């Protein structure tokens, strides 16, 4: 899937969520996302309560996992490190939205796609460019923390990614996202 298709899918999902005001994306409750596909977002602890004696092996501290159960996708995350895990959680959402959970495609390519989806959803390019324009110079990665979820290293990575791209006009979903955050008229 091309990066621009992934960006479109992320904006499409984001436009379906409830948020408003310029700090709206920072306050978006990631555990209450409307994802569709019968998707449930829950904690690893909840899994262990529901299935006593079973543990989900998790690699690393900040990880998420997606399992298919009874025709639903269940995304697990670790609430104790919720803020740091925003990208990990949205990475799992990316696997669901990008159709990776059918298992037909495997390997590093789908991991990269899911990761890009997470960045596009949490730190939309149109929002970064709007904030850059408001400030009159590029918003620093340190300033990203006021507007976007994720860690400082993720904010640095996203700043670099956006600086290397050629700006494109906002599409319908992006215009809607800007309208809700900044009361911008389309
Ligand atoms: Zn993954």
CA 154–ligand 1 middle distance (angstroms): 16
What's the pLDDT score for residue 59?
A: 46
- Residue carrying structure tokens 């990880």: 63
How high does pLDDT run on average in the chain?
Answer: 88
Give the number of domains in the chain: 1
| Position 111 in a domain | yes
CA 169–ligand 1 middle distance (angstroms): 30
What is the extent of the structural domain holding 10?
A: 3-179
| Position 186 in a domain | no
- The answer for 132, left when phi > 0, alpha when psi is -120 to 50, beta otherwise, is alpha
CA 20–ligand 1 middle distance (angstroms): 29
CA 1–ligand 1 middle distance (angstroms): 15
pLDDT class for 58, splitting at 50, 70, 90?
low
CA 114–ligand 1 middle distance (angstroms): 6
What's the pLDDT score for residue 180?
A: 95
Which is more confident, 59 or 86? 86
By three-state DSSP, how is residue 115 classified?
A: helix
**Contact present, 155 and 145 (Cβ < 8 Å):** yes
CA 92–ligand 1 middle distance (angstroms): 6
pTM of the model: 0.89
pLDDT digits 0-9 by tens, 88-142: 899 999 999 999 888 788 788 999 999 999 999 999 999 999 999 999 999 999 9
pLDDT class for 60, splitting at 50, 70, 90?
very low
| Position 108 in a domain | yes
Kindly tell me the burial class for residue 82, based on how many C-beta atoms sit within 10 Å of its own C-beta (0-12, 13-18, 19 or more).
middle
Q: What is the mean pLDDT of residues 60-74?
A: 74
Cα distance between residue 113 and residue 177, in whole Å: 22
| Position 120 in a domain | yes
CA 57–ligand 1 middle distance (angstroms): 14
CA 77–ligand 1 middle distance (angstroms): 13
| Position 89 in a domain | yes
What's the pLDDT score for residue 124?
A: 98
| Position 184 in a domain | no
| Position 159 in a domain | yes
**Contact present, 111 and 143 (Cβ < 8 Å):** no
Give the closest residue to 44 by CA, choosing from 72, 13, 74, 70.
74
CA 109–ligand 1 middle distance (angstroms): 10
CA 54–ligand 1 middle distance (angstroms): 21
- Least confident range of 20-29, 66-75, 166-175: 66-75
Give the closest residue to 12 by CA, choosing from 171, 186, 179.
171
């Amino acid at each position: 899937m091309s990066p621009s298709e992934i960006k479109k899918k992320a904006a499409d999902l984001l436009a379906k969520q409830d948020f408003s005001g310029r700090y709206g994306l920072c306050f978006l409750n990631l555990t209450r996302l409307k994802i569709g596909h019968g998707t449930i977002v829950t904690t690893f602890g909840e899994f262990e309560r529901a299935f006593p004696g079973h543990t989900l092996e998790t690699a690393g501290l900040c990880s998420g996992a997606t399992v298919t159960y009874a025709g639903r996708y269940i995304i697990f995350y670790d609430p104790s490190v919720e803020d740091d895990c925003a990208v990990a959680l949205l990475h799992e959402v990316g696997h669901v939205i990008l159709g990776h959970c059918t298992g037909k495609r495997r390997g590093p390519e789908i991991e990269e796609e899911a990761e890009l989806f997470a960045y596009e959803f949490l730190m939309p390019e149109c929002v970064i460019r709007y904030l850059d324009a408001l400030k009159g110079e590029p918003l620093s990665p340190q300033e990203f923390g006021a507007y976007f979820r994720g860690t400082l290293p993720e904010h640095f990575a996203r700043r670099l990614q956006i600086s290397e791209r050629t700006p494109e006009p906002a599409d319908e979903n992006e215009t809607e996202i800007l309208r809700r955050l900044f009361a911008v008229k389309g």
